[in-house]
Structure 1
Amino acid sequence: MTFPRIASFKNYTAFTHHLGNLPVPLPCAENVENGPDSPLAQSIQVHDFTIGNRFCILPMEGWDGTADGKPSELTRRRWHNFGRSGAKLIWGGEAVAVRHDGRANPNQLVINSKNLSDLESLRIELVTAHEAEFGTSADLVVGLQLTHAGRFAKPDCHERMQPRTAQRNSILDARCGITDDSAVVSDEDLTALIEDFISAAYLAEQAGFQFVDIKHCHGYLGHELLSGVNRPGKFGGNFENRTRFLREIVEGIRSQTSSLKIGVRVSVFDFLPFKQGTDGFGIPEKNGDPRLLFGGDTTGTGIDLYEPLKFLSLLESLGIKLVCTTAGSPYYNPHIQRPAFFPPSDGYQLPEDPLCGVSRQIQATAELKRHHPKLVLVGSGYSYLQEWLPHVSQEVIQRGWADSIGLGRMVLSYPELPADVLAGRTMPRKRICRTFSDCTTSARKGIVSGCYPLDPFYKKRDRNLSNSA
């Protein structure tokens, strides 16, 4: 099974001819406009914010914090680059654990009173870099993503999982080393964790962040609770119970903060966990349970947006206007979450053209936007488009399929992409992310994450170094 690389399409005609053969349509503008009147340069008004353009930097971790959860110089370099990118919405910077046992790795940032000044200085460095490049930060909006890693927690050691799960899941339990119910978070533990999220949000406001993202994606605890149909008690079973965690966090944040806004990044659909088949290509686990897939259909490899649409209605009723869409999980079905030509070390060979994965996320977000036009929706999954990213992004914005274009892996190698596109500058081919997946493979091996193939700074680093900065 082979698919053409993006770089092989030398012109618009060749690229769009290939797009026409995809099972899911993908729009593409022939010419990218630039300047203040261009579609991607238009501002967004939400709450009392002005977001100055249609580019957003998604949360990008480097597995490079200190043992006690403070940012290192590598963390600061990454946030500095976010600031100088030209994007006017920073969706959380990176995932920050609300307590130690919620860290996805022992170098993840943690928000607490001891680390508060460090997180504040991280935000200030980003804003200062933005002001130095663009003259003002009045139309820059910066949030902080709050998380608990749940079943994928590794707070103390890269080699040892310490999972805290929302419910049992036979396929994922086997991968996480779970053999009994002791890893399942009790209702009492969730009630305490809600207070931790509320406290973290209070601290985030003190550090100057304009909003917090209550993370509900990628298989982490918030996301797993959304699919907790088998969980007993007040946090599982029906939709009302499965969203109680979020509702109580939101209520608490509103009571403890003065002007902090709330956003949610959510996996709006999910597939069964995939594994390597006998030929190395990805195949779904045949014994997986489709009922445990939020936004998944009964086949286990299709989409049903009934509950995601219901979830967005809930967010609107809670006064939440900022939503970032994504899909699946990097741990068990990365091809639907971050389409890539080259799989990470713990992945599998491509079961489909990665453009199908890009289109799937874009189309799902468009459908959600059609039903919820008042929400500000940030889309994900664009990096694989490479040279054609601005072309597709412009068409998505012009059609009203999303409000903002989220950039993740791309900004590790080429942080200035938004500024260059808006100014009409040519994108340097040698800096465009080719989805080599080294940023993921390095992290899976306990090495700080970065773009080792394309970023000269990381090229000079020894990949055998530990996670120390």
Structure 2
Amino acid sequence: MNHQALFTPAQLGSFHLRNRIVLPPLTRSRSTQPGNVANELMATYYRQRAGAGFMVTEGTQIEPRGQGYAWTPGIHSEEQVQGWRRVTEAVHAEGGVIFAQLWHVGRVSHTSLQPGGGAPVAPSALAAESVKVFVETGPGAGTLADPSTPRALSREEVKELVQLYVQAARNAMEAGFDGIEIHCANGYLVNQFISAHSNCRTDEYGGSLHNRLRFLREVTQSIADAIGAERVGVRFSPLFASTDEARVYLGLVEEDPHETYVEAVKILQAIGIAYLSLAEADWDDAPRLPVSFRQAVRAAFAGTIIYAGKYTADLAAEAIQAGWADLIAFGRPFIANPDLPARIANGWPLNKVDEASMYGGTHQGYTDYPAYQG
């Protein structure tokens, strides 16, 4: 199939993108310890993949309580800001455009990763089920553990969290990023507020769908006010299936996911953010998003729409040609193929991912994947 649709230029807010291929957020757990600081190895990793038209960093915690996995980077300390500056300078030297994904895991954490060994924080004191977190903080492979039972945030703490997101966005701009993406997917904090399965609050942040979307609205609007809506994206993981696997890996399944996420998209349209990123299920027999939902999202949102999932180059080109996607993100293929756009353009074969080196470790399975040699 002709993949030319992937290589036509695109506009994302004020940014001119040279192709429509996206490096999505991919947790790799390689930050420097102690301090969860982005480093030269990470700068090399992102620079190698700067052939993408658009790049988003791995999830980056906005505060110490936002960490749910060992060795993931933060963007709440001055040392972390300076570490990320190495990354943005490396990417910009290659002509790339890169946003930082702002992340707070909420209840998907463990007391050993929390300040002072405290309980994780969440909309409600409901433990996350059927998911594991990395708790080991030393070098080597992470030790898996069940998330700890969280404590419910007070109303005042929720307001404070909105401002922590804003400060993280300002920190990202200081670090040289072109903008930020708010992680509202995969069952993490913002998703926990949205979902009736994890939000049992009785104040203005819980109950009705309007109230459950309030935290999303306040965080997004406040960041847009601080750095400009044209520098803001949001990622969701809507899912139209009710399996435990689905709830864990792609967010909390709603009774009416169509209504929930179309209403959320309308909020983002009103704020005027640059893009919406939709992460689809990616296991072998995962359900695809309904065409009716894709059409409703396109009708409700005037900005750029990114899709991610089990996309091949053929499926990606078809999605763009069909008009319901503007950009397509390739996750696992980009891990093993730093030159992925060139491989797609030329029909070159792809390297396979080394599963053993996905999280934590050294340059092996991280920056040593070879470019195509012919």
Please classify the TM superposition score into its range, dividing by the shorter chain length: 0.7 to 0.9
3-state SS of 1:241 partner: helix
Correspondence for 2:108 = 152
Identical-residue share of aligned pairs (%):
21
- Distance in 2 between the 1:121 and 1:362 partners? 41
- Distance in 1 between the 2:212 and 2:343 partners? 43
The code of the aligned residue for 1:428 comes to P
Correspondence for 2:55 = 90
Match of 2:183 among 215, 224, 235: 215
User: What TM-score do the two structures reach when normalised by structure 2?
Assistant: 0.82
Correspondence for 1:172 = 129
Correspondence for 2:9 = 43
Does structure 1 residue 315 correspond to structure 2 residue 255? no
Does structure 1 residue 366 correspond to structure 2 residue 294? yes
Could you tell me whether the CA contact under 8 Å between 1:105 and 1:155 is conserved in 2?
Answer: no
3-state SS of 1:412 partner: helix
- Distance in 2 between the 1:41 and 1:47 partners? 18
The code of the aligned residue for 2:100 comes to L
Match of 1:256 among 197, 206, 226: 226
3-state SS of 1:313 partner: helix
- How far is the alpha carbon of 1:186 from its aligned partner? 2.2
Correspondence for 2:277 = 324
- How far is the alpha carbon of 1:272 from its aligned partner? 4.1
Aligned length: 349
- Long gaps (5+) in structure 1: 1-30, 131-136, 276-283, 298-302, 328-335, 340-353, 460-469
Correspondence for 1:427 = 348
* Aligned residue runs from structure 1 range 130-279, under 5 A: 130=94, 137=95, 140-154=96-110, 156-157=112-113, 162-169=119-126, 172=129, 176=146, 178=148, 183-228=151-196, 229-257=199-227, 261-269=231-239, 271-272=241-242, 274=244
Deviations 1:250-284 (A, max 9, x none): 33324433686111011122644537xxxxxxxx8
Does structure 1 residue 306 correspond to structure 2 residue 259? yes
The code of the aligned residue for 1:64 comes to R
3-state SS of 1:209 partner: coil
- Distance in 2 between the 1:40 and 1:174 partners? 35
* Aligned residue runs from structure 1 range 69-108, under 5 A: 69-83=36-50, 86-91=51-56, 93-108=57-72
Does structure 1 residue 120 correspond to structure 2 residue 85? yes
Could you tell me whether the CA contact under 8 Å between 1:63 and 1:449 is conserved in 2?
Answer: no
* Aligned residue runs from structure 1 range 354-393, under 5 A: 354=284, 356-357=285-286, 360-361=288-289, 363=291, 366-372=294-300, 374-382=302-310, 389-393=312-316
Correspondence for 1:394 = 317
The code of the aligned residue for 1:317 comes to A
Could you tell me whether the CA contact under 8 Å between 2:109 and 2:147 is conserved in 1?
Answer: no
- How far is the alpha carbon of 1:185 from its aligned partner? 2.2
Deviations 1:343-369 (A, max 9, x none): xxxxxxxxxxx1x42x61485773344
The code of the aligned residue for 1:68 comes to G
3-state SS of 2:316 partner: helix
Segment drifting more, 401-410 vs 369-378: 369-378
User: What TM-score do the two structures reach when normalised by structure 1?
Assistant: 0.66
- Distance in 2 between the 1:449 and 1:242 partners? 41
Could you tell me whether the CA contact under 8 Å between 2:307 and 2:328 is conserved in 1?
Answer: yes
Correspondence for 2:330 = 407
3-state SS of 1:360 partner: coil
The code of the aligned residue for 2:15 comes to F
Q: Residue 166 and residue 72 in structure 1: after superposition, are their counterparts in 2 closer, same or farther (change >3 A)?
A: same
Deviations 1:36-83 (A, max 9, x none): xx2111122232222221111101121111220211343223212221
Could you tell me whether the CA contact under 8 Å between 2:23 and 2:329 is conserved in 1?
Answer: yes
Could you tell me whether the CA contact under 8 Å between 2:55 and 2:99 is conserved in 1?
Answer: yes
- Distance in 1 between the 2:327 and 2:244 partners? 30
The code of the aligned residue for 2:66 comes to G
3-state SS of 2:313 partner: helix
Could you tell me whether the CA contact under 8 Å between 2:338 and 2:369 is conserved in 1?
Answer: no
Match of 1:56 among 9, 13, 22: 22
- How far is the alpha carbon of 1:234 from its aligned partner? 2.0
Could you tell me whether the CA contact under 8 Å between 1:152 and 1:162 is conserved in 2?
Answer: no
The code of the aligned residue for 1:304 comes to P
- How far is the alpha carbon of 1:98 from its aligned partner? 0.7
- How far is the alpha carbon of 1:412 from its aligned partner? 1.1
- How far is the alpha carbon of 1:95 from its aligned partner? 0.9
Q: Residue 456 and residue 90 in structure 1: after superposition, are their counterparts in 2 closer, same or farther (change >3 A)?
A: closer
- How far is the alpha carbon of 1:426 from its aligned partner? 3.0
Could you tell me whether the CA contact under 8 Å between 1:295 and 1:305 is conserved in 2?
Answer: no
- Distance in 2 between the 1:374 and 1:259 partners? 13
- Long gaps (5+) in structure 2: 133-145
The code of the aligned residue for 1:194 comes to V
